[in-house]
Amino acid sequence: MRETEMETGVPASTLRYWEKQFEDLSPRKDGHGNRYYTREDQELIKRIKYIRDELKITRIEAIQKELKSNGKRSSERQTALEILLRVKEELCEIRKMIKHE
């Protein structure tokens, strides 16, 4: 679970809550109750987080509706945001290089 927390930025308590709210989110559990999230689970968690944080859709029912509509709007916006963040990082690196010359 720690890896998923770090990868997604979503705390364990929220992940456990979301497991109860989103039927598609069902990590494998071992005999000790440890959760193991697949890549697909992690992508779903990132989509839920994006819908909640970036689209400001906070009601569980509304998030579920957005996911069921294939989340086309949210996935396109998420992809665009990820690209913009990478471009921003690259521009910051270029700026640092220019300042040091």
pTM: 0.67
> Looking at domain 2-100, which of 1.10.1660.10, 1.20.1560.10, 1.10.287.110, 3.30.70.1450 is its CATH number?
1.10.1660.10
Cβ burial of 10 (10 Å; 0-12, 13-18, 19+) is buried
User: What's the whole-number average pLDDT of the chain?
Assistant: 89
- φ, ψ dihedrals at 36, nearest 5°: -125, 110
Q: Which residues pair with 28 in a beta bridge?
A: 36
pLDDT tens sequence across 51-72: 999 889 999 999 998 888 865 6
Pick from 27, 32, 28, 37: nearest CA to 6: 37
Q: Which residues pair with 57 in a beta bridge?
A: none
